[in-house]
Amino acid sequence: MPDKAFFIFTLLYLILGCAAFFFNDILFIWFLAGAGLIPVLLTDLLVFVFLGDRLSAQRKIPSFLAQGEPVQVKLYIRRCGFLLPLSIRIFDLYPDSMSVNMFPAKLCPQRSDRKNFNKSGALIFEYTIIPEERGPWVFSGTEFMLSSFLRLWRLRVTHDNFSRGRTYPNFKLMTRGIDLKGNPEKGEVKHIRKRGHGLEFESLRDYQEGDSIRSIDWRATSRNRFLDGRTKLIVRNYQEEQDQQILFIIDSGYRLPDNQFDSALNAMLLLSYVALKHGDSVAAASFGSRDLWIPPRKGMSAYTGLMNALFDLHSAPVPSSPFSAMENALNHLHRRSFIILISNFREEDGESLSWILPRINQRHLLLMVSFRENKAEKLAFPGESKKEKTDEEVLETAAAYSYLVNRRRLYGKWEHSGLLILETSPAQISSALINKYLSVKKSGKL
């Protein structure tokens, strides 16, 4: 394509032609200028096309990235011939799921000229990119906008410099703002111990004031007597049971929009990490936009499998059925499990789930996790307002209040039947879910 110098010469030649129209003395000069300009244009074009593109591009970027974590990208531009274009503009075609803060343009342009190439014929460009979305990504290539030796022409050349990889949820962002005793990222979650029965035996220790009489080990006590004949009481110390099974079921349909779904998925992955650290086995499933089943596995190697299976899972505005998800879970589970179902439950779910919840409750422990309806709460409890409300606003307030009351009545009915209910916000779901899991482990309900 023509460059700026081409248009400048063309404009000057046009002005000279206009002058020749009025002055005959300039007409001969105009013919000579045209006869000399055309060979120059053609020569610059031919040399540029056949000798100008002597570059190669190579990109260096990690294959596995963390969402929201800046990463450095390096472009190695190497010359492959003796002649180089006068100036070079480089466009790295990064994916839509990433952003570059320092460049407003989509293609991330960089400017250079042939003087910047070192003795080995290489040029290195560095820039910072931020992965904004989870899932696979592809750099489609690198483009060069080359200028000819007289700056009369420009040539756009695309190199198939592909780079592929994955963006995973950021564990550091997951743990940000989590109200826990200990650091889940380092495996320092509070290790819960309980004195009592129904849990795994850990050790023996001396009796302390406040210990239950049922925890006294009379056989060990009979072997510990003082010289004066007094008996030293020994009690059993218990900890939460190991090797229990946790199943996560997440709704990827219309019930959870993107922001709620991402928060739920992060909380699910973080709790999986905590559960695996506690020696439990973890399984996962999704329903809605994508039906997925990950069988239960134990050990920290299972966390890598969970990340690889769930890193590209997203919600979509499609129907989702918690009933079908629970029925599918019953067909896969062969031992008592702690089932955590994450969705947005409403009044109509009471009837649709009434057939299967008793079966679940007999064999497993079920936790129903739902998000608070902030918009409905604002409509139902608008606060004091000086202006008089219209009839439409009054009806909206009444409808929102009725919706929240019916929803709360449904949750109360489920709790009365023995189910566990957790209603929280997207910002607090991680801490609420982990603390609920720890309290369940401490209570010995599993």
Query: What are the domain boundaries of the chain?
Result: 55-168, 193-239, 245-443
Question: What whole-number distance in Å separates Cα of residue 61 and Cα of residue 105?
Answer: 20
pLDDT of residue 183: 47
Among the ranges given (188-202, 212-226, 297-311, 398-412), the one the predictor scored with the smallest mean pLDDT:
188-202
Among the ranges given (19-23, 77-81, 317-321, 371-375), the one the predictor scored with the smallest mean pLDDT:
77-81
Termini Cα distance of the chain: 72
Does 55-168 match 245-443 in CATH topology? no
DSSP state of 53: -
**2: β partners:** 153
Confidence of residue 239 (pLDDT cuts 50, 70, 90): low
Return the higher-pLDDT residue of 373 and 132.
Answer: 132
pLDDT of residue 101: 65
77-102 burial, b at 16+ Cβ within 10 Å, e below that, comes to: bebeeeebbbbbbbbbbbbebbebee
CATH architecture of 245-443: 3-Layer(aba) Sandwich (3.40)
Residues in the chain: 446
**102-138 pLDDT per residue, tens:** 544 444 455 555 555 655 567 788 888 999 999 999 9
171-210 burial, b at 16+ Cβ within 10 Å, e below that, comes to: beebbeebebeeebeeeebeeeebbeeebeeeeeeeeeee
What are the structure tokens assigned to 315, written together? 């919600």
Percent of the chain with pLDDT over 90: 27
Taking alpha carbons only, the member of 389, 184, 169, 396 closest to residue 273 is 184
The reply to whether CATH 3.40.50.300 applies to domain 55-168 is no
Across 44-48, 67-71, 146-150, which has the greatest mean pLDDT?
67-71
**Host H or E run for residue 272:** helix 258-277
Half-sphere exposure of 63 (CA within 13 A, CB side): 2
Taking alpha carbons only, the member of 47, 44, 25 closest to residue 36 is 44
pLDDT of residue 130: 92
Question: What whole-number distance in Å separates Cα of residue 360 and Cα of residue 353?
Answer: 10
Among the ranges given (143-152, 241-250, 403-412), the one the predictor scored with the smallest mean pLDDT:
143-152
Asked if 152 and 44 touch (Cβ cutoff 8 Å), the reply is yes
pLDDT of residue 137: 94
